[in-house]
Copies of this chain bind each other. A is one copy, B any other.
Amino acid sequence: MDERQVGSLTFRLDLSQPLYEQILKQMRSAIAKGEIALGEKIPSVREMAHALKVNPNTVSHAYQELERDGLTETRRGQGTFITTSRERVQQFRRELAERLLADFVAQMQSLGYTWDEIERCLHTKKKEATVHGRNGGAL
């Protein structure tokens, strides 16, 4: 499965995307889902780099994007911490979901799908997924 544990987090890295982007996305998900508590310290750049067998610069790149997102706060000499603002995390989650939804709909419409057809596709897939596994297809 090529999974790597670091602290309470689990990462899956491959070569299909930039490494820093994969780290970034998986950190965003962990924060959005509350898998890391608000205000909690995340692994240091060097610790993360060592655990993921990746260059510290690459981890640093991802961490700086997280701060640009407003999801983390960095304290010089101390480390990087998840923001304490629950509102900020919720807002980010909403905005990202909104972007994903808009992109998805735009692409479906570029193939000639109508709103009703898109809704029907989603509903069909939901029923397919919830029949097989009880976890809603998440895992």
In the complex, what distance in Å separates the CA atom of A119 from the CA atom of B129? Answer: 14
A115 touches B126 (CB 8 A): yes
In the complex, what distance in Å separates the CA atom of A119 from the CA atom of B123? Answer: 7
A interface, over-half SS:
helix
* Chain copies in complex: 2
B100 touches A33 (CB 8 A): no
In the complex, what distance in Å separates the CA atom of A28 from the CA atom of B107? Answer: 11
The 6 closest A-B pairs by CB, nearest first: A104-B104, A33-B112, A29-B110, A115-B126, A32-B111, A109-B138
Mark A residues whose CB is within 8 Å of B. Answer: 25, 28-29, 32-34, 93, 96-97, 100-102, 104-105, 107-115, 118-119, 121-123, 125-126, 129-130, 136-138
